[in-house]
Amino acid sequence: MRKPAFLQPRVLKLAIMSALSPAYTTKFPAEPFEPIPEFRGRPRYDADRCIGCGACAQVCPSKCIEVIDEPAAEPPRRTLVQHFDACIMCGQCARYCPTDTGIRMSTDWDTAGFRPEDFEERVEKELVLCEVCGDVLAPVAQLEWLAAKLGPVAFANPALALQAGKPLGYTEQSVQNPAADILRQDRMAIACPRCRRQAAWAA
């Protein structure tokens, strides 16, 4: 006849070892959970280092990052909205960020909330519009980052050169009304690629 489980030597041995050994689990929720540094939680934007390029939205497999351009606003702005209730914490946004610091993976694991706003993180960046046609060109922070990254080579690009000169006070942006013809002088303007190409043909 088989003995009851509490009388079997193997079971008694495991019970005594378990009673004398330290706990393997934490005392959550009585004590806060401290994840290890390598824990991959939700991604977080750094508003000061994000350049608003939208690369994170392009590589996000779950499409949880939304890019909203408002060229008619004053000033024109781009808003990056991260819906982390749809985020799968894959880390592609942080991996392909051009600045490597605009968005980073954190150890935040508790993403509970009660309102839709509790699952959103927003970053707003001022936009630069094409001075010829008025279309969206890029965020100001992106052009400034490119100019600083390229150094003196940036002055080979009129848009980067003019944008880099704004803090010095010798250039200013004035969006013109869309014109039927693109003139030669439009080559020295903060222009989109299409208008730069048409200005080169006009020259």
In the predicted model, what is the mean pLDDT of residues 110-139?
90
User: Which domain does 120 fall in, by range?
Assistant: 35-127
How confident is the model over 32-91, as pLDDT tens digits? 888 888 899 999 999 999 999 999 999 999 999 999 999 999 999 999 999 999 999 999
**Statement to judge: residues 119 and 172 lie in one domain:** no
How confident is the model over 10-39, as pLDDT tens digits? 888 888 888 888 877 888 888 888 888 889
pLDDT value of residue 167: 74
Residue 8: band (very low, low, confident or very high) from pLDDT cuts 50, 70, 90 = confident
In a domain, 50, yes or no: yes
From start to end of the chain, where are the E strands?
43-45, 65-70, 77-83, 103-105, 120-129, 136-139
**Statement to judge: residues 53 and 71 lie in one domain:** yes
